[in-house]
Amino acid sequence: MQVKKEEIRQTIIDVATNEFMRMGYENVSMRVIAYKANTTIGNIYHYFKNKEVLLQTILIPVFDNIENLMKQHFENEIKCPLTQKEALYYAEHLEEFFDKSELRGFLDKRIVIILKLESSSLLERKEKFIEELQEHLQQHIRMKDDAHYSKIVIDVLADCLKHVLIEHDNINDAKAEFIKLFRLFCTGFIGQMK
């Protein structure tokens, strides 16, 4: 019943990623991961020192990627800051720009895991990431953020991502719906009213 090493390792990661996204890291037991990955708890520990390391294996690449994307995005912003008018334009035509924009990096189950993470050693890195995100958003919104809008906006982002990723297995459907939602928050609920 021996399977190629990488295969089962990847299955464990895939199963854990899905479960962590849906249920939250804290609420997923090694038992169910083992069961859904058709292996045993002991074998998961063969590949990953502990639950924490399994989480890190899943999240660290996406941390690296997203931090990179944000750095690029930040640099572009400084060169040519968006005006409100431009922002509106982008929001309206997001379909065209999505894949080229740094937003593409967010449409990822693992981002949901990060944004909902409540314990683990990665919390620190999460906080740093959230802070950077907040700063970016403040750049965009360009205002004193005394109401901590940006913090909320990030939670909202997490909810939207979780929602579209759970509802739509097909990545294109997910993208389409995410874009709709993103636009909704850009222009506001009242903008939707007739």
Q: Which residues bind DNA (CB under 7 A)?
A: 1-3, 5, 8, 28-32, 39-43, 45-47, 49-52
Structure tokens at 74: 């930040």
Q: Which of 65, 186, 100 is nearest to 137 (CA)?
A: 186
As measured in angstroms, the least distance from the Cβ of 141 to a copy of itself is 5
| Residues contributing to the site for a copy of itself (CB under 8 A) | 23, 26-27, 82-84, 87-88, 91, 118, 137, 140-143, 147-149, 151-153, 155-156, 159-160, 163, 167, 177, 180-181, 184-194
Q: What SS3 string covers 103-130?
A: HHHHCCHHHHHHHHCCCCCCHHHHHHHH
* 3-state DSSP assignment of residue 52: helix
143 contact, one of a copy of itself, DNA, none, CB 5-8 Å limit per kind: a copy of itself
Does residue 71 contact residue 133 with C-beta atoms inside 8 Å?
no
Closest distance of CB 61 from DNA, Å? 20
CB of 61 to a copy of itself, least distance (A): 27
Q: Which residues contact 131 (CB under 8 A, 6 or more apart)?
A: none
Taking CB within 5 to 8 Å according to partner kind, which of DNA, a copy of itself, none is near residue 47?
Answer: DNA
Query: What residue 42 binds from DNA, a copy of itself, none (CB within 5 to 8 A, per partner kind)?
Result: DNA
Query: Can you tell me the distance from the alpha carbon of 117 to that of 31, in angstroms, rounded to the nearest whole number?
Result: 20
